Amino acid sequence: MSDPCPGTRPGPRRRWGLVLLGAAGGASLALYVAAAPFVAPALRRVCLPFVPASTAQVETVLQLLRGRGGALVDIGSGDGRIVIAAAKQGFQAVGYELNPWLVWYSRYRAWREGVHHNTRFYISDLWKMQSLEGKLQSELKGNARVVACRFPFPSWIAVHESGKGIDSAWLYDAKSFKTTANEVPD
């Protein structure tokens, strides 16, 4: 049915249709913007989805760091659980994460937990970095320790392993991995 008077305001039925169309379009756009950072990593050559650190995993990491202080860097920090827990233990803690939503959420959580002065979170794509093992070997000082959660370093020998299954963590001492990196093969 055509409008009897062109240029006049649309009727109530047509107005509701436009409102519903606008609401559906807005909801679709919001869903896309919210989901894109979580779906994009799945489209990468190497897919490591966000799996939050469990309470047991956070406790395992803190246990491996017991008696130490200073700086902590969490690569693939997710929602910041390990960084925030370390900051509560007195560490100056930094998290690097690919997903910007998780970085912003981590910053909010650190503020809410009252440790935002001891934490920093950065958006960073580790897949664009050179070999992480090589980078750490060349840049870390001799007293540094590296804790890997869920995925051990392939060519380093851990000085301690803790936890089971998904809560596993490996502790590496820079003295040992710097020595093995500098050894000449037979």
Q: What is the pLDDT of residues 90-119, one digit of tens each?
A: 999 999 888 888 999 999 999 999 999 999
Asked if 42 and 49 count as a contact pair (C-beta separation under 8 A), the reply is: yes
Query: Residue 186: its pLDDT value, please?
Result: 43
State whether 16 and 87 are in the same domain. Answer: no
63 half-sphere exposure, CB direction, 13 A CA radius:
15
- For residue 122, is pLDDT > 80? yes
- Tell me how many domains the chain contains: 2
Residue 115 lies in a domain: yes
As a whole number, the mean pLDDT across the chain is 80
Asked if 133 and 172 count as a contact pair (C-beta separation under 8 A), the reply is: no
CATH number at residue 85: 3.40.50.150
Query: Residue 35: its pLDDT value, please?
Result: 65
- What residue numbers bound the domain in which 84 lies? 55-182
In the three-class reduction of DSSP (H, G, I as helix; E, B as strand; rest coil), residue 173 is classed as: strand
State whether 159 and 92 are in the same domain. Answer: yes
Residue 122 lies in a domain: yes
Q: Taking Cα atoms as reference points, which of 66, 64, 89 lies closest to residue 147? A: 64
Asked if 122 and 99 count as a contact pair (C-beta separation under 8 A), the reply is: no
Q: How confident is the model at residue 59 (pLDDT cuts 50, 70, 90)?
A: very high
State whether 168 and 95 are in the same domain. Answer: yes
pTM score: 0.66
Q: Which helix (H) or strand (E) holds 71?
A: strand 71-75
Q: Which helix (H) or strand (E) holds 73?
A: strand 71-75
Q: What is the pLDDT of residues 1-18, one digit of tens each?
A: 555 556 666 666 777 777
Exposed, middle or buried: residue 93 (CB in 10 Å: 0-12, 13-18, 19+)?
buried
Query: Residue 136: its pLDDT value, please?
Result: 80
Asked if 117 and 90 count as a contact pair (C-beta separation under 8 A), the reply is: no
Asked if 116 and 110 count as a contact pair (C-beta separation under 8 A), the reply is: yes
Residue 2 lies in a domain: no
- For residue 185, is pLDDT > 50? no
State whether 78 and 37 are in the same domain. Answer: no
